A and B are shown apart, each in its own frame.
Chain A
Amino acid sequence: MKQERIYLDNNATTMVAPEARDAMLPFLGEKYGNPSSLHAFGGEIRHHLAEAHDHVYDLIDALDQDDVVINSCATEGNNTVLQGVYHTVVRNNAKNHIITSNVEHPSVLNTCKFLETLGVQVTYLPVNKEGIVTAEQVANAIIDRTALVSIMWANNETGAVFPVEAIAQAAKARGVLFHTDATQVIGKLPVSVRDRSIDFLTLSGHKFHAPKGVGALFVKAGVRLPPLLFGGEQMGGLRGGTHDVHNMIGLGMAALLAKKGITDEQTRIRALRDKLESTVLREISDTGVNGGTQHRTPNTANIWFKGVEGEAVLWDLNEHGIAASTGSACASGNEKASYVLLALGIGPEIAHSSIRFSLSRYTTEAEIDTALETIRTVIERLRNISFTYKKG
Chain B
Amino acid sequence: MAKETLLSKGMWEQYSEKVRDRMNKPGHFGEITKDEAHKANLKLVDVIHGSEACGDAVQLFLLVDKDNVIKKARFKSFGCGTAIAASDMMAELCVGKTIDQALRITNLDVERALRDNPETPAVPGQKMHCSVMAYDVIKKAVASYKNVDIKEFDEAEIVCHCGRITRKQIEKAIIEKNLTTVEQVIEATGAGSYCGSCIRPGGHEEKNVYLVNILDDVLRRTGKKEEASVTTGVRDIPFSELKMPQKLKKIEAVLDQIVRPALAADHGGLEVMDLENTTVFISYTGSCAGCAGALHGTLDFIQKTLQEKLNASITVKPFQG
Contacts and interface: CB of A to CB of B under 8 A. Distances in A.
Interface of A: 96, 110-111, 113-114, 116-117, 119-121, 307-312, 315-316, 318-319, 328-334, 336-337, 347-349, 352-353, 384-389
14 contacts: A113-B296, A117-B292, A119-B320, A120-B320, A121-B320, A309-B79, A315-B12, A316-B81, A319-B24, A328-B55, A330-B80, A330-B83, A336-B55, A348-B52
B320 A96 contact: yes
B292 A337 contact: no
B233 interface: no
Interface in B147-205: 194-197, 203-205
B321 interface: yes
B12 A332 contact: no
Contact of B292 (A114, A121, A336, A352): A114
Contacts of A318: 12
Contacts of B250: none
B205 A332 contact: yes
A385 B77 contact: yes
A110 B83 CA distance: 31
Contact of B78 (A111, A117, A307): A307
A116 B64 CA distance: 59
B293 interface: yes
Given A116-B318, A119-B321, A331-B126, A387 B292 contact: no
Interface in B1-21: 11-12
B114 to A, nearest CB: 15
A308 B196 CA distance: 26
A312 B87 CA distance: 14
Given A333-B126, A333-B203, A386-B78, A117 B289 contact: yes
A117 B295 contact: yes
B135 interface: no
B77 A113 contact: no
B257 interface: no
A110 B52 CA distance: 29
Contacts of A336: 54-55, 204
Contacts of B48: 387
Given A121-B320, A308-B78, A386-B77, A332 B295 contact: no
B272 interface: no
Contacts, number: 115
Contacts of B31: 387
A332 B59 contact: no
Contacts of B239: none
A159 to B, nearest CB: 23
Interface in B277-299: 284, 289, 292-293, 295-296
Contacts of B284: 117
A9 to B, nearest CB: 14
Contacts of B84: 312, 385
Nearest to B124: A331
Contact of B52 (A114, A117, A315, A349): A349
A315 B19 CA distance: 12
A182 to B, nearest CB: 23
Contacts of A333: 126, 195-197, 203-204
Contacts of A96: 320
Given A332-B129, A333-B203, 4 more contacts: A315-B81, A330-B80, A334-B204, A387-B59
A332 B80 contact: no
B52 A388 contact: yes
Contacts of B126: 331-334
B237 interface: no
B256 interface: no
A21 to B, nearest CB: 25
A309 B203 contact: no
Contacts of A334: 126, 204
A108 B81 CA distance: 32
B55 A332 contact: no
**Most B Cβ at <10 Å: residue of A117, A121, A333:** A117
B47 to A, nearest CB: 11
A105 B199 CA distance: 28
A315 B80 contact: yes
